[in-house]
Structure 1
Amino acid sequence: MYKQIVKEDELNLIFRNTTNEIFVADGQGICIQVNPECEKNLGIDAASLIGTNVKDLVSRGLFTNSTTLKVLEEKKPVSLIQETSIGQKLYATGIPVFAENGEISRVISTSINITEILKFQEKVQRMELMLDDYNKELASIKKTIKFNQGEIIASSHHMKRVYEMLEMITQVDSTILLLGESGVGKSEIAHWIHKRSNRSNKKLIEVNCAAIPSNLFESELFGYEPGAFSGALSSGKRGLALEADKGTLFLDEIGELSLELQSKILQFIQSKSFRKVGGNKTEKSDVRIITATNRNLEQMVNKGKFREDLYYRLSVIPIKIPPLRERKEDLIALIFLILDNLNISYDKKYTFSNTTIQSLLNHQWPGNIRELKNTIERICVTSKDEYIDLDKSSLIKYLYFNNSDYINEEIPRRSSIDNDESITNEIFSLENDMSLKDRVKWFEYEIVNRYYKKYKSTQQVAEVLKTSQSTISRKLNQVEN
C-alpha cells in the first residue's frame, strides 16, 4: 500500500512539473485533468477546464484543431498544430486509451509549445529572403555600372568624367598630377593607370614623399655610392628611380617636399637623369611620372612654398578626384564592392540590413573611401553575426575606433539644440548638467563646423586651423547631428 502511495505521489509530481502540456479527457471528450503547463498555454485555470466538453472549449475559441476530438473520431493516435486564444502555437499529440470492451476510456494529449521555434524559423526565412534580395541587388549593381572597371566605381557625373580622362591617358607617357582630399583613392588610381599602360609589364614604384625624412630622401630616390656617408652600405644602393626604370614612378604626397628637394625632382623630370649621392656618373631612368597630393599646390606656389616651374611640369595632365560627398551616386556601389571583397578575403557571407546601408549612406565620410573601407571592415570583423543590422547611433561607435577617447563613450546629443547661437548658449549655460568633457567636445565641434561650412573642405579647414585633416574629420563626427 505504501509503495502504491509513493508511486502515485511521484507520478503526480512528474505530471505537475513537466514542461510539456498534458490534457486528459474521458471517452465522451470531457476534460478530467490538466497540468499547470496547459493552464499557462491556454491562459485559463484548471477549474474552468475540468468537467467541460472539448467541443465547448473549441467553440469558445480557447484552441483550434482538437487532438481529443480527432482521436475520438479516428480511434487512433493523431498529431497536429494547435493555436490557442492567447497566441501560443502547440505541437499536440493525442493517444487513445482503450477499455476492455474496446471503447475509448481516456484520451491523453501532450503538447510542446513551439511558438518561439516558429518565430525563429520565420526570422531565418526573412533573413534568407533579405540575403536573396542582397545578392540580387549586388548582381544588379555589378551589371548596371558600366564604368566599374578594375574597381573604379564611376556612376556619378564627376567620376564618369574622371574615368573618361583616365582611359584617354593610359597609353601615353605624359606626367600626371592626381589631386584630391586624403582618402579619395589617388594611390589606387595610380596603380590602375599603370596596369593599363604600355609599361604594365614593368614595376610601379610608389614613393611616399611625406614618409621619408628630408635628409634621406635623395639617397632613397636616387641611390648612393659605397661610402657616400656615415652608415651607408658598403655596396651602395641602387635607388628607387632605377628600380622603376621602364616602369612607373609614383610620387605620392609631392606637396610635402622641401624646396631643395623640389629642385632635384624638377631636374630629374626634365632630363630623366640624375646622380647618385656621392657619385659623379650621370644615371638614366626611363620612367613615367605620376604624382599626387591633397595640398593646394597653386596656393603653395603663391606663398612661395612650391616651385612654380615644378608645378607646371607636374600638371601636364591634372586630374582632380572628387570627394565622396560629391559623388553620392557611387556610394552604394562602393559599399557593396567593399563588402564583396571582404567576403572573398575572409571567406564569409557578411550582409547588411537596409537600416545599416541607409546609415552608411547618410554619413558624410570626410575621410572618403579610406574611411568608408576601414569602417566597413571594422564593422564586419568585430561582428558576432554575418548578418549586420546597425542604425545611425550604433554606427557612430565604429567611426574613428582607434581613438580611445571615443570608444564606448556616450556621445552628447543635440536634441534640444537647433542652431549655432543656441548651441553656444547651451555650452556656456550654468543651468544644465552637461559635463566639462562634453562642453569641450561641443565647443571644438562648433569651431570646426563653422569653418567647414565656409570652406567645404576638411583639408582647407586643417590648413587654416593648423592641424591635421584626420583631426578635423574626427571633430566633425564626434557628436551626433
Structure 2
Amino acid sequence: MNREIERLLETNQELENIFEYSFEGILVTDADANIIRVNNVSASFMQLTKEEILRTNVKVLEEKGIFSPSAVLRVLKVGHPVEMIQRAIGGRYVYVRAKPVYDTNGKLNRVISFTRDLTELMMLKKQLEETEDELNQYKRDLHEQMSIEGIISNSERMKAVLHMVRKVAAVNSHVLLLGETGVGKSIIAKAIHQLSEREKEPFYVVNCAALPESLIEVELFGYEGGMFTGAERGGKKGLFEIANGGTLFLDEIGELPIHLQAKLLHVLQEKQFRPVGGTEQLDINVRMITATNRDLKEMVDKGLFREDLYYRLNIFPITIPVLRERREDIIPLAHYFLHQHNTAYNKQVRLSPKVLETFLSYGWEGNVRELQNLIERLVVMADHSVIGMIDLPEHICASSSVKNNTTLKEILAEVEKSIILEVYEKDPSSYKVAEKLGISQTAATRKIKKYVHGK
C-alpha cells in the first residue's frame, strides 16, 4: 500500500513538473470561470503572482484589461474548443487554445487554456512589413527620381548636379568633373554622353594615371608606321581619331605629363592633332570630358599644370559631392546595388534595418564605389536571407560605434545592442539568444526587452 502511495506521489510530482515547466502558459478554471490552477508562464503573461490569480474569476481579469477577449468565457458559451489571439497587458500578443473538459455525466466542469507568447512573432511580422513598405517606397523613389541609369538623386546636391548634367549635355562645351575618388565621375561622364546628340557615337575612357608616361601620347594621338621597333607597319590610330564624332573621357587629367598638356591644349583650341612621327594635321570633332580628384588650381600655382589648359578645361566645372554629404542617397543606392547584385548572382538577400542604420552613420571615405563594392561582397558571402551586423566588416561596425558614442560605457552598450539585435533577428527566441551567447535565459529576456522592445 505504501509503495502504491509512493508511486502516486511520484506521478503527481512528475505531472506538477510538466505543468510548471511547460513552455506554454496553462490555466485551468471551473465551470464558473474561476481560476483553480495556473502555471508560472501563464502568470508572467498576466504580470501577476499566482496567489493574485488563483480563485479570481476570468471575467474580472478581462474587465481589468489583463487580457482580452477571454477564450475561457467563449468556451463556456459555445461548449467546444476555441482558438484565438489575445491582447495581453503590456501590449503583448498571445495565442490561446482553450478546450472544455466534461465529467462522466457529460457535464462541463473544467476549461483548460494553453497560451503561447506571439509578441516576438508579431513584432517581427510588423518589422518585416515595415521593411517591405520601405523597400517598395525606395523602388518607387528610384523609378520617379533616377532619370539617369546608375545615378541616385534624392539629395538636393545631386539633383543640382543632374540639372547641370542635362544642361551641359545639350551643348558641346568641354566639361571638367571634380570630386573625390569613387564619387561617380565616370558615370556622370557617360551620362553626359548618353544625353547628348553624340549618344550613338563612340564613347572612350582613358585613365591618365593608369598608363605609363611613355604610352599616354601614343594612346591619345597614335603613331605613323615605322616609328619604332615593334610598331605596326601601317601605324596605329589614337583615341582622338577613333573617337571622332563621339566623346573622349580623360580621367585623372591632373596626372597628364606637362609636356603633353601643351599638345592637348592645341587639340582643344584648333580641333586638330598630329600623330606621333606624323607630318600632317588631322581634323577631329571630339567632345572632351575631363575629371580629377586633385586641386588643379593649386597645381597651377605650383607649376605642375598649365594655366592656359586649366582655364580651357574649366569652362563648365561640375563638382560631384561626396557620399557622406548626401546621406539621403545612401539607402536608395544600397538598395539599387543590392538589386543589381542579387540579379547578377541569382540571390534574394536583403539588408537588415540595423545595417541600413549603420550605413547612414558610416563615413564612406571611398564614396559610392566603396558602397557598391561592399554590397557586392555582402551578397556574394551571404549565408542567410538577411544581411545583418555580423556580416559587416569590423571597421564599419567600429566606426559607427565610435562616431555615435562618446564614452566607453556607451560604446559597449551599442556593441551589446548590435549583438542582441543580430542574434535575435535570426532566432527570435530568448532561449535561442541565451544559448548562442552563453548567458542565462533571464538575462537574455531582459536584454531583448531593453534593446528589441525598448522597455
Q: Identify the TM-score tier after normalising by the shorter chain.
A: 0.5 to 0.7
Q: Secondary structure at the match of 1:167?
A: helix
1:92 corresponds in structure 2 to: 97
For residues 186 and 241 of structure 2, the distance between their equivalents in structure 1, rounded to whole angstroms, comes to 20
What is the match of residue 16 of structure 1? Answer: 17
State the TM-score, normalizing by the size of structure 1. 0.62
Runs (5+) with no aligned partner, structure 2: 409-455
What is the alpha-carbon distance in structure 2 between the residues aligned to residue 97 and residue 344 of structure 1?
62
- Correspondence 1:285-434 to 2 at 5 A: 285-315=284-314, 317-324=315-322, 328=325, 331-333=327-329, 335-347=331-343, 348=348, 350=350, 353=353, 367-371=366-370, 373-374=372-373, 397-398=395-396, 415=406
For the residues of structure 1 that align with 2:406 and 2:73, how far apart are their CA atoms? Answer: 60
Instruction: Tell me the CA shift for residue 255 of structure 1.
Output: 1.4
Written as runs of structure 1 = structure 2, the 5 A alignment for 1:51-450 is 52=55, 54=57, 58=61, 71-72=75-76, 74-81=78-85, 89-100=94-105, 102-104=106-108, 106-107=109-110, 109-113=112-116, 115=117, 117-133=118-134, 135-136=136-137, 139=140, 143=144, 148-152=147-151, 162-224=161-223, 228-229=227-228, 237-269=236-268, 270-276=270-276, 285-315=284-314, 317-324=315-322, 328=325, 331-333=327-329, 335-347=331-343, 348=348, 350=350, 353=353, 367-371=366-370, 373-374=372-373, 397-398=395-396, 415=406
How far, CA to CA, are the matches of 1:59 and 1:300 in structure 2?
A: 79
Provide the secondary structure at the position in 2 that maps to 1:211.
Answer: coil
Post-superposition shift, 1:38? Answer: 5.6
> How many residues were matched structurally?
395
Partner Cα distance (2:164, 2:93) in 1: 64
- Distance (Å, rounded) in 2 between the aligned partners of 1:205 and 1:185: 16
Q: CA RMSD in A?
A: 5.0
Asked if the contact 1:184–1:321 (Cα under 8 Å) also holds between the matched residues in 2, the reply is no
* Preserved CA contact (<8 Å) 1:222 1:275: yes
Shift of 1:128: 0.8
Q: Which runs of 5+ in 1 are unaligned?
A: 400-406, 418-481
Q: Compared with structure 1, are the counterparts of its residues 181 and 82 closer, same or farther at alpha carbon in structure 2 (3 Å cutoff)?
A: closer
What is the CA–CA distance in structure 2 between the aligned matches of 1:227 and 1:343, rounded to whole Å? 51
Aligned residue for 1:397, secondary structure, equals helix
Q: Deviations over 1:14-39 (max 9, x none)?
A: 56326345555566767666667666
Equivalence for 2:437: none
Query: 8 Å contact 1:268–1:274 — kept in the other structure?
Result: no
Deviation at 1:94, TM superposition (A): 1.9
Name the residue aligned to 2:449: none
CA displacement 1:166-210 (0-9 Å, x = unmatched): 434434444333333433432222111211222221211100000
* Aligned-partner Cα distance in 1 for 2:32–2:375: 65
What code does the residue aligned with 1:13 have? Answer: E
Opposite residue 240 of structure 1, the aligned amino acid is: L
